[in-house]
């Protein structure tokens, strides 16, 4: 694979870990905050993967956070590394439209979302599926667009909701599926880019 891949993380990095174990060549990892994904996973990779935390001025809906400036900073950083494909793996910052422009990374940003889109968009997807009473949820791998949790779907897989499931147990079973499906989907996407 000759495409240069960057993975963006904010959390435990278990999807990133699965990609590394799958042997997916990853050229750069970027986090928007200190997190296990950047501290543990990138350092344990052999050879270690270049990694950076691009800190935000604030998290949540803080006024100090300038989304456009942050997105420009990240975009510039990725371009300087010669990145071709941007993989969001539990990255929790919503990026502004400029990165999705064709002259930057439009059509080349992938996202995974823990629901069967278009159902249960947003950052409470697992909780919302559980609360809704549906018996099946799952995961979606899609091309990201400026509209959050939208964009062309590349792969989906169902996960049944079991009696006694909590948000934690259900999300972990969804992630088990994502850890196999995401690396496979990235490889297929990169091969056809």
What residue ranges bind ligand GAR (CB under 6 A)? 11-16, 89-90, 112-114, 123, 174-175, 178
169, 61 Cβ separation under 8 angstroms: no
> Which of 137, 41, 149 has the alpha carbon at shortest distance from 92?
149
Query: Which CB, 42 or 102, lies closer to ligand GAR?
Result: 42
CB of 12 to ligand GAR, least distance (A): 4
Decide if 142 is catalytic.
no
Q: State the residue number with the nearest CB to ligand GAR.
A: 90
**Whole-angstrom distance, CA of residue 107 vs CA of residue 40:** 30
Q: CB pairs under 8 A, 24+ apart, for 165-173?
A: 165/130, 166/130, 167/126, 167/127, 167/130, 170/126, 170/129, 170/130, 170/137, 171/114, 171/126
State which residue, 11 or 25, has the beta carbon closest to ligand GAR. Answer: 11
Residue 39 φ then ψ, to 5°: -80, -40
Query: What whole-number distance in Å separates Cα of residue 93 and Cα of residue 172?
Result: 21
Tokens of 174: 């969804």
- CB of residue 17 to ligand GAR, shortest distance in Å: 7
Given the complex with ligand GAR, which of 43 and 79 has the nearer CB atom?
A: 43
Catalytic residue among 113, 142, 171, 192: 113
CB 103, min distance to ligand GAR, A: 25
Contact 6, 30 (CB under 8 A): yes
Give the other-Cβ count within 10 Å of 164's Cβ.
6
Q: Output the smallest distance, CB 171 to ligand GAR, in A.
A: 6
* 79 or 147: CB nearest ligand GAR: 147
Residues that are catalytic: 113
């Amino acid at each position: 694979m000759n495409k240069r891949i960057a993975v963006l993380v904010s959390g435990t990095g278990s999807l990133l870990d699965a990609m590394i174990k799958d042997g997916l060549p990853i050229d750069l990892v970027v986090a928007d905050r200190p997190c296990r994904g950047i501290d543990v996973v990138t350092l344990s990779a052999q050879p270690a993967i270049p990694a950076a935390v691009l800190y935000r001025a604030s998290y949540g809906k803080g006024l100090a956070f300038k989304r456009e400036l942050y997105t420009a900073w990240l975009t510039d950083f990725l371009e300087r590394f010669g990145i071709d494909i941007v993989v969001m793996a539990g990255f929790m910052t919503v990026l502004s439209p400029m990165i999705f422009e064709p002259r930057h990374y439009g059509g080349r940003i992938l996202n995974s979302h823990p629901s069967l889109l278009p159902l249960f968009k947003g950052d409470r997807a697992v909780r919302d599926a559980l609360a809704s009473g549906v018996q099946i949820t799952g995961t979606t791998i899609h091309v990201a667009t400026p509209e959050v949790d939208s964009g062309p779907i590349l792969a989906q897989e169902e996960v049944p909701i079991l009696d006694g499931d909590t948000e934690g147990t259900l999300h972990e079973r969804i992630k088990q599926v994502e850890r196999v499906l995401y690396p496979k989907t990235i490889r297929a996407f990169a091969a056809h880019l």
